[in-house]
Structure formats: C-alpha cells, structure tokens
Amino acid sequence: MKIKVVNGGKFKLDGGAMFGVVPKSMWNKLNPSDENNMCTWSTRLLYIETENRKILIDTGLGTKQNEKFFSHFYPHDGNLHTAIDQEVIDVESITDVFLTHLHFDHCGGALKNAEDGSQIPTFPNAIYWSNEQHFNWAYTPNDREKASFLHENFVPLRDQGRLKFIPLIQGVEWIPGIMVHYFFGHTDAMMVPEIILHDGSSIFYCADLLPSSYHVKMPYVMAYDIRPLKTLEEKKRFYDMVLSKEKSYLFFEHDPVHAFGSLSINEKGRYQVDVNTRPDAIHHL
C-alpha cells in the first residue's frame, strides 16, 4: 500500500464557528484570526494506492463555484486541480473517490464544469462512494446545513451512475485494509475511514470529527455540528477505539500546519495529541 498526502489548498472560516463555545482568548492562541475573525484551514486529502485500486479521500472545495461564493472563504495556496495540473494526481488512473461527507469543502472537487455548463466527474474512470443515509440527508437538507450541501457537488454523480453506497454498518470493511466508522454529531452518517498499514498500525482519516489537532480536547466542538452533545459522546468512543490499537495515527484534514498526530492521555487524564509523529509510509505532495 502506498499513501500520499495531497494539498487541496487552504481557505478561511470564522474562528468562532470552528471552535464553538471555546472563548476566543483561548483558541486565538492556537490559530490566530485575521481582522475579520477568519482563521486559515487546510483541505488536506489522502491518496492511497493498493494492488488494484488508486483511491482519493475527499476532494476539497474544487473550482466550479462562482466568485461570489468563493469570496466568503478566501481560497488560496492551490486546490485539487492545481495538484492535478502538477501531476501529483493522475485523473485517469483514479479508480475510487471516497467522500467522507457531502459538505462543499469535502466534495466540491468531485465534479467540474463542462464547456456546456453541466457538471462532469473530475475523475472520469472513478466510482464515487458515499452512503445512502447521508446522501438522502444532504439531498433534502435542513436549514442549518443548507448552505453546505450544494446539489451540483454530488447529485450529478448519482444521475450519471457514478455513485455507490457503502453499507451503514459500524466498522464495515469497505475494501481489504480500509474499514469505515460512522459518526452523527457533525452531520448525519459521516464516514471516517481507518486505513490499516502493513505493519498493523492504523491511520484514521478524521474528517470533521476532529478537523484539526486543536480539536482533540473534549470541549473543542465546532458550532457547525448539528448534534454537539453527540459529538462529545462520539469523540470519547473514538478515542477509546484509537487507544485500543497498538499503534495508530490521526489524519487532520483541516489543520493548517499538521497532517498527523498520535493520541495519548496525559498525567491529568486528559486527551492530548503529539503532532511530531507520522507513519513512515507517508509522502507529502
């Protein structure tokens, strides 16, 4: 198995929204905001190559939205298509695109605009993966998430027969070496893949359960989460699972600096993360 970290670019989100009830006097020391209270975040993707598959997990914001849309998020430092242009990713060879959930910053690059204005798959030979419960949730969104679920980012995948669903079973094996864990606090039926390496260690692609290393502390729950108390419960369950492994790594999709960390419990019984560790198998691109 070969694994590479892919830069999907950076963007900005409101610091208060990203840190929820945590006071600015605390979170601003971790990720300082600009004069508009906006903090910089990554859209970090993962490329996995197995014996017979080439997989991309999530696709970042993409480029097909209009200027007004992007003006709210200040995208910079590249995007998925920059990585494609630089031949970091070969669009023709990707066999599978795993979408942790269908918020625009995770699936916006799944499709691109064609010359006739329609949306076509960015990866022409790939099958895209979600789950039926989350797709239905995104297709008929609640008012809280409506601005995050944009039909043009995922509905054409279904209509063009390019979307398949993973069974909603906790710990289901999607393909050999990759398990799927489901979480319901951030959004309904978000998927967190666990990639099992040859040495038996695991990489957990945390998606928006833990968008960054800053969010490992229990009270650090995003205001975006639809069920914040559920997120607290799920973080504890997730930590127990991670710590039950002999060796494991957390992959942070939105952390502006750190891609990986190792979870532990300190002398006070609190969860902490060491961001100075990463799997030997990883290459950064």
Helix, strand, coil % in the chain, rounded to nearest 5:
20, 30, 50
Whether 18 has a pLDDT exceeding 90, the answer reads yes
37: left (phi over 0), alpha (psi -120 to 50) or beta: left
Looking up tokens 């989100």, which residue turns up? Answer: 13
- Arithmetic mean of pLDDT, 253-272: 96
Residue 105, both tokens: 């910053």
Among candidates 226, 224, 278, 272, which has minimal Cα distance to 249?
A: 278
pLDDT of residue 283: 65
pLDDT of residue 281: 72
User: What is the residue type of 146?
Assistant: K
List, in order of start, the domains of the chain with CATH numbers: 2-284 (3.60.15.10)
**What's the pTM value of the predicted model, to 2 decimals?**
0.96
Residues pairing with 97 in the sheet: 56, 128
131-152 tens-digit pLDDT: 999 999 999 999 999 999 999 9
pLDDT of residue 214: 98
pLDDT of residue 279: 87
Of the two residues 227 and 83, the one the predictor is more confident about is 227
Q: Rounded to the nearest 5°, which phi and psi values hold at 70? A: -70, -20
Residues in Cβ contact with 56 at an 8 Å cutoff, skipping those fewer than 6 apart:
6, 45, 46, 47, 48, 89, 94, 96, 97, 98, 123, 126
184-240 tens-digit pLDDT: 999 999 999 999 999 999 999 999 999 999 999 999 999 999 999 999 999 999 999
